[in-house]
Structure 1
Amino acid sequence: MKSLFSLYYKNLFLTTRLFIGLGGAAVLYLLSFFFTWLGQIPAIFFFTLIVLLIIDLWMLYGTSNGIFAKRHAPERLSNGDDNEIGIYIENFYNFKVSTGIIDEIPHQFQKRDVLFQTTLTSHQHKLLNYVLRPTKRGEYEFGYVRVYVQAPLGLVNRRFNFEQGQTLAVYPSFLQMRKYELMAISNRLNEYGIKKIRRLGNSMEFEQIKNYVAGDDFRTLNWKASARRGELMVNNYTDEKSQHVYCVIDKSRTMKMPFEGLSLLDYAINASLVLSSVALIKQDKAGLITASDQKGAVIPADRRPTQLNKIMEVLYKEKTRYMETNMELLYTTIRNTLKQRSLVVFFTNFESMSALQRQLPFLQRIAKFHLLVLVFFENTELKKISEQPACNVEGIYIKTIAEKFAYEKKLIVKELARHGIQSILSAPQNLTVNTINRYLELKARQKI
């Protein structure tokens, strides 16, 4: 009996309307000492309020399961994207109720305002949706769904607790990956900023022999097939297939810098996942290597249906380390893993020319055997500072330093080009588009 009472007591909350009523009764009792004509009005008002309170309690607690609520969430969340979460709620009371719904979202979001106010008529149900944008990979724990119900009298609230402890894994941006997958399948990548590249020459990858139609290149005529069929036949060529595309991700301290909530490592991981997906759709083989001061994960290039899941599972667990990358170890790993000429997209970051000079000898060795594309990041915060007008001497100094660092990034691009290494200097938010652009360009120019 005691536990039942404590259960009701813990879930009972008094409203502002009840406190206003009690305050009004207290004022009436106080005034009755000075104005005798009030007589029994204060007592009548107070006891009427008590009766209404009892009726309100009976309405709320007369039905044991008056409200049902449930959270609808996907099996996993996509890092850096808007993920839609839904709350289903249904009213089993025989009267209209006002509800306040609190969803206990994971502590990583640091939000305490996920509160929804809605009304439900008898036996009505609703689906309330909201959006969460995680910025870190890992496990996110959801707590209770709590519903505060108010009857028409509105003197008290009854709380319903729906224990729905839920742990969702936040994976690299698979929503972004699916978007680019659809674009690649339908050959509409240019709609998302992926530029079209003028094809130089003909690919040597034979696809089929087909009938000649006006406009076909005469140089592709197949005279033997034409003689057999008695009509002109031409060879049809397609892009080279089964080329090896490796994403190499630097996990050193230079990749820990945050932009718009996501670290540079997360931007690199999201871009690597999308690039691997597009490469597999283009019938190339995708692989992955992670690097830091120690040997990281290595997934040899393949195009099996399970390859993308392997890459995603590895990327899900990767974290930045606080040491510099061991470039000698990375070079050895690449030489031992890559048995043929491949496209190596190396995601890293340089803030100064001296940082590049330390790694340049190893980058030159990698570029000697493979097509190396070095991807590093533009510091958008410094760019904003350099574009702002200076108001005083301190502002001039800060702007000059910002412009110096921005200019040094451009010098790094020129230094890499001087040694025959291709590079992409990209703002973090444009990384995926710029990386796919370069991959399609190299494929169209038959550089791989």
Structure 2
Amino acid sequence: MKTLRALFISSRTWSILIGFVLLFVAAYGLPVLFPVAQVAFVVFVILLLLDGLALFRSANTPFFARREVPDRLSNGDENPLTIYVENRYPFRADADVIDEIPFQFQRRDVLFKVRLKPRETQAIRYELRPTRRGEYSFGAVNVFVLTPLGLLKRRFQFEKERMVAVYPSFLQMRQYELLAATNRLNEVGIKRIRRIGHSMEFEQVRPYSTGDDVRTVNWKATARRTDAGGATLMTNAYQDERSQPVYCLIDKGRVMRSPFEGLTLLDYAINASLVLSNIALIKQDRAGILTFSDRVGQLLPADRRTGHMLKILELLYRQKTRFLESDYEALYTAVRTNIRQRSLLLLFTNFETVSAMHRQLPYLRRLAKDHLLLVIFFENTELRSLLDQPATDTEQIYLKTIGEKFAFEKKQIVKELQQYGIQTILTAPRNLTADTVNKYLELKARGMI
């Protein structure tokens, strides 16, 4: 029974059998074809037996496959996977490799065709992009092997049942960290920002550069440099303020359930929070997380000790969207109770209308009174694509008119928040991480935190 379960008939065999049926039918009209059909059928049956014998004669495993998958997958990123296949048959083998990927991907096209010489090994590489955090279950790697005759298939199964966790986008975090270490953040849209002010902590005397504050010119050091034969202005350099608390406040309410390119707005906010927290730690600041919806979720106090980044990653991995209205009064109470030092608060949320923002404005103003508040919400990119298209009939004119109203309300929200001294970012989901990091570096350069 085990052999029968592993035995499959190839499409070539079915085509040949159909040909024999047509040949025998034709033999009724042309009897001379009947002996030819009989001989051909006997030869076919012998080849079929030889093909089966070649596939099943070995007691050991004559074909081997192994899937190499990371222990964790990065949400929203293309994660590389590799399947290694090895032909241990003494003849050339063709194989169809089917990987049973988790059902969350909703893909049925993970099929690879390979041809291997005897004792040859090949690596099959492909990528998967998860769009939800959580546990993903990989099934078996199914390999259907054919001999050069290609009449029968033998199925082999490897790597049965493996669970892999999908975490927030740690690949994106590593990318930003690497670019920051090599001073190439501009490649992902991070601007170089000249410091406007400075702290009072002296660092060094260095040559003056265009854009430096002229008030920091060190005239005594310049005079000494001139006496030594040079003519270069020297300026005092000051260290950035360090160990400033930076909190990411993540709204998990129903407004963050909206999808964009497979990911929800919550997942975009989580990925951006992970990257920003890592950048803050690199800048010697302290990073913390607070989540909320209809009630306050989890709070991770701002810190920068060893292992703190792992705590942030684990906390963000467990977050889920709730389908209820977010309670900003509970958020304000939690911030006032647990965050006593003046901090930079990055609030990831979404407002579609001015009236929705007005309901929460009193609590936002109270937060901005004690802390530096940065409200981050999202553009409706589908609406933007609609507005960019020319209208050709009355219905499209009506739709564009309504769309312009909603787009104007987004801009009005930004303007009203800024009137109360609240920093804002209105961004497309795909640009969220770069825009957030840019704003953080700008606020730090301006000495506002």
Secondary structure of 2:289's aligned partner: strand
- 2:248: which partner in 1? 247
- 1:354: which partner in 2? 355
Deviates more, 1:271-280 or 1:392-401: 392-401
Secondary structure of 1:40's aligned partner: helix
TM-score (normalised: structure 2): 0.92
- 1:3: which partner in 2? none
Out of 69, 72, 75, the residue aligned to residue 73 of structure 1 is: 69
Aligned mates of 2:298, 2:201 — CA distance in 1: 32
- 2:313: which partner in 1? 312
- 1:116: which partner in 2? 112
Question: Shift of residue 34 of structure 1?
Answer: 3.7
Question: Shift of residue 39 of structure 1?
Answer: 6.0
Deviates more, 1:185-194 or 1:329-338: 185-194
Secondary structure of 1:118's aligned partner: strand
- 2:420: which partner in 1? 419
Q: How does 1:132-143 map to 2 (within 5 A)?
A: 132-143=128-139
- 2:330: which partner in 1? 329
- 1:199: which partner in 2? 195
Does residue 54 in structure 1 map to residue 49 in structure 2? yes
Listed one character per residue, the Cα deviations across residues 182-241 of structure 1 (whole Å, up to 9, x for unaligned) are 12223322222111222213332334x56x768798957699xxx9xxx9x986521111
Out of 14, 18, 22, the residue aligned to residue 17 of structure 2 is: 22
Deviates more, 1:42-51 or 1:81-90: 42-51
Quote the sequence identity (%): 53
- 1:174: which partner in 2? 170
- 2:5: which partner in 1? 10
Does residue 430 in structure 1 map to residue 431 in structure 2? yes
- 1:148: which partner in 2? 144
Aligned mates of 1:236, 1:411 — CA distance in 2: 40
Aligned mates of 1:34, 1:358 — CA distance in 2: 87
Amino acid at match of 2:179: M
Out of 180, 184, 189, the residue aligned to residue 184 of structure 1 is: 180
- 1:386: which partner in 2? 387
Aligned mates of 2:179, 2:207 — CA distance in 1: 29
Question: Shift of residue 258 of structure 1?
Answer: 0.4
Deviates more, 1:312-321 or 1:11-20: 11-20
Question: Shift of residue 442 of structure 1?
Answer: 0.4
Q: 8 Å contact 1:22–1:46 — kept in the other structure?
A: no
Secondary structure of 1:434's aligned partner: helix
Aligned mates of 2:207, 2:419 — CA distance in 1: 45
Q: Which runs of 4+ in 1 moved over 4 A?
A: 212-223, 233-236
Aligned mates of 2:215, 2:384 — CA distance in 1: 52
After superposition, the Cα gap between the structure-2 partners of 1:214 and 1:38, relative to the gap in structure 1 and judged at 3 Å, is: closer
After superposition, the Cα gap between the structure-2 partners of 1:418 and 1:149, relative to the gap in structure 1 and judged at 3 Å, is: same
Secondary structure of 2:67's aligned partner: strand
Q: 8 Å contact 2:208–2:235 — kept in the other structure?
A: no
After superposition, the Cα gap between the structure-2 partners of 1:367 and 1:50, relative to the gap in structure 1 and judged at 3 Å, is: same
Aligned mates of 2:333, 2:208 — CA distance in 1: 52
Deviates more, 1:245-254 or 1:35-44: 35-44
Uncovered stretches (5+) of structure 2, i.e. residues with no partner: 229-233
Amino acid at match of 1:83: N
Aligned mates of 1:383, 1:397 — CA distance in 2: 15
Q: 8 Å contact 1:205–1:241 — kept in the other structure?
A: no
- Structure 1 vs Structure 2 CA RMSD: 2.3
Aligned mates of 1:443, 1:236 — CA distance in 2: 15
Secondary structure of 1:200's aligned partner: coil
Out of 73, 78, 85, the residue aligned to residue 81 of structure 2 is: 85
After superposition, the Cα gap between the structure-2 partners of 1:51 and 1:243, relative to the gap in structure 1 and judged at 3 Å, is: same
Q: 8 Å contact 2:377–2:425 — kept in the other structure?
A: yes
Uncovered stretches (5+) of structure 1, i.e. residues with no partner: 1-5
